Structure 1
Amino acid sequence: MKKLLLTLALCMGYLCTTVAQTFIKTEVKQSMRRVADWQIAHYNKAVYGDLNWVNATFHLGLVHWAAIAEQTDKDDSYYKWLLRLGNRNYWQVDQRMYHADDICISQMYLYMYEKYKKKSMLIPTQARAGWVIANPPSGSFELNYGDATTLEHWTWCDA
């Protein structure tokens, strides 16, 4: 009898833990979808622009969510949204040649290339990287916003 009760208790504990984990995963996934949908519905490229690092960090998170949504729910709408964004910007990076913030968008492009294998998604990123390698910055490492040459180096902690 003690063995039966112990077995039942262990089974109940296991089942409760498994059900609780499944419920939590489902909740997290639902929250992720709500956040992604809200961000897309309230997307404002006018404030920062599509290519700015602020929006680029969202795009990078969205490309990871797109993979989950497609794999688990067969929902490719997030990938389609990112394709439209990349296409309307011709897969370009932002303007400043050396500034890490201005190539942040390339991270999303690399993931999109992994999925679609379209060379056009990489050409601007490769061109920028090649240019920077061929033209090393000459400015000082001492950051001075009044001297544009000190902004050339990729000295940002998140670069």
Structure 2
Amino acid sequence: MIHIRRNAQLIVFGLVVVFAGFTSADPNVFSPDYIKATLKKAVDWQLKHPKHKLTDWTNGAFYSGVFAAYETTRSPEILDSLMAMGERNKWQPGARYDHADDIAICQTYINLYRLKKDRRMIQATIDTVQKMSRVPGKEVANHGLTWWWCDALFMGPPVLSQLGKTLNDPSYYVLNDSLYKQTYKLLYNQDEHLFARDATYLINAAGEGKKESNGKKIFWSRGNGWVMGGLVQLLNELPKNHPTRNWYVTIFKQMSERLISLQQADGLWRSSLLDPDAYPGGEASGSGFDCYALAWGINQGILDKKTYLPAVQKAWVALNTLVSPEGRVGWVQPIGADPRRNFSADSWEVYGTGAFLLAGSEVIKLKLK
């Protein structure tokens, strides 16, 4: 434990040294030209370094960020890459009709459909979601509910709400409400205002269950980042008069307030939210999703600008120090279901890039003066 804490101190010191070249008032980091150029660079690097099957959930998160980068930059090259991805996939989701991971890529299909109006781009998505609504699958059989892990709240709800809005069919909103509330009831901690990753991380009435080295409950940074990013995309689609909209907004506000209290001095969040001293270095993917969500909340007037803007500014400055000159987003925790220590400046994953792209797409909209 001594070695871990010592490493964490050294890494934080190193990040502080890096940050010495930036301040929240630095016009370069927050200038539209800088942000657009940085997003393009990150997209370009990641597209040149593919890692997973295109329908994989990892790419669902990445291409969500790529589409946000396209909306920000209006780059024809980025749009071409998005269309090429869809054509290579033949606009199909993954194989498991009842697993949220396998429809995450459909977020991008629907966004592209809105530009091109070609029904074949979303028909397989519609068919898959319709089957999920009618036919209980392995997830329900094995876990008792469809979205049994908190990551699913980024993968699934945006797709259902997008379909509801795109097709003008409120049944998709109703389905989403039902599935979301099941996950919320199981995993949301009313005291901490954070989501457990899944039921294996819950503490029972006797106080038994998985805990961190400091004795606190395990709340995974990227897991809660998934939820925050998913809430943004869900709320972007829900009608203003939807009966459960305020319920989602309340969750968003509660989590936002808790997360800024857990942000570290360097502007990033550690992979374990309640035991940051035991985990070395800030983590890019969870921090990227949090920056994205908090910036969006400010831009929408949901979060108080005076309270939350400093946190977003610190996070964006910090995130930019994790991007290499070539555009690689480093310090990304590898694939897993809980906080990890086995990552470094050279650790990258496509979802880390996606989170960074989403963050930039909202930071650029902030009115800093």
Work out whether the TM-score is over 0.5: yes
Q: Of 47, 50, 61, which residue of structure 2 is paired with 1:57?
A: 61
Structure with more contact order per residue of length (Cα contacts < 8 Å, sep ≥ 6): 2
- Structure 1 residues 154 and 42, CA gap change in structure 2 (3 angstroms): same
TM-score of the two chains, using structure 1 as the length reference: 0.71
In structure 2, distance between residues paired with 1:128 and 1:60? 19
Task: Output aligned runs, 1:143-154, within 5 Å.
Answer: 149-150=141-142, 153-154=146-147
- Structure 1 residues 35 and 131, CA gap change in structure 2 (3 angstroms): same
Instruction: Tell me which residue corresponds to 1:155.
Output: 148
Q: Which runs of 5+ in 2 are unaligned?
A: 1-24, 153-369
- Residue-by-residue CA offset, 1:92-151 (whole Å, 9 max, x unaligned): 0001121111110011111111111111110000000111112134765xxxxxxxx316
Instruction: Tell me which residue corresponds to 2:209.
Output: none
Instruction: Tell me which residue corresponds to 1:10.
Output: none
Moved more, 127-136 or 26-35: 26-35
Alpha-carbon distance, 1:153 to partner: 1.8
Q: Of 27, 30, 38, which residue of structure 1 is paired with 2:37?
A: 30
Alpha-carbon distance, 1:31 to partner: 1.4
Contact 1:100/1:156 (<8 A) preserved: no
Contact 1:99/1:153 (<8 A) preserved: yes
Aligned residues: 126
Contact 2:98/2:138 (<8 A) preserved: no
In structure 2, distance between residues paired with 1:24 and 1:127? 42
Task: Output aligned runs, 1:134-149, within 5 Å.
Answer: 134-137=134-137, 149=141
Question: Which AA in structure 2 matches 1:156?
Answer: W
Alpha-carbon distance, 1:85 to partner: 0.9
Contact 2:64/2:107 (<8 A) preserved: yes
- Residue-by-residue CA offset, 1:48-87 (whole Å, 9 max, x unaligned): 20000011211110011112221xxxx3111111111111
In structure 2, distance between residues paired with 1:138 and 1:103? 15
TM-score of the two chains, using structure 2 as the length reference: 0.32
1:43 is the counterpart of 2:50? yes
Alpha-carbon distance, 1:156 to partner: 2.2
In structure 2, distance between residues paired with 1:28 and 1:42? 21
Instruction: Tell me which residue corresponds to 1:11.
Output: none
Moved more, 130-139 or 92-101: 130-139
Root mean square deviation, CA, Å: 2.2
Question: Which AA in structure 2 matches 1:53?
Answer: W
Alpha-carbon distance, 1:20 to partner: 5.7
Question: Which AA in structure 2 matches 1:157?
Answer: C
Larger Rg over CA atoms: 1
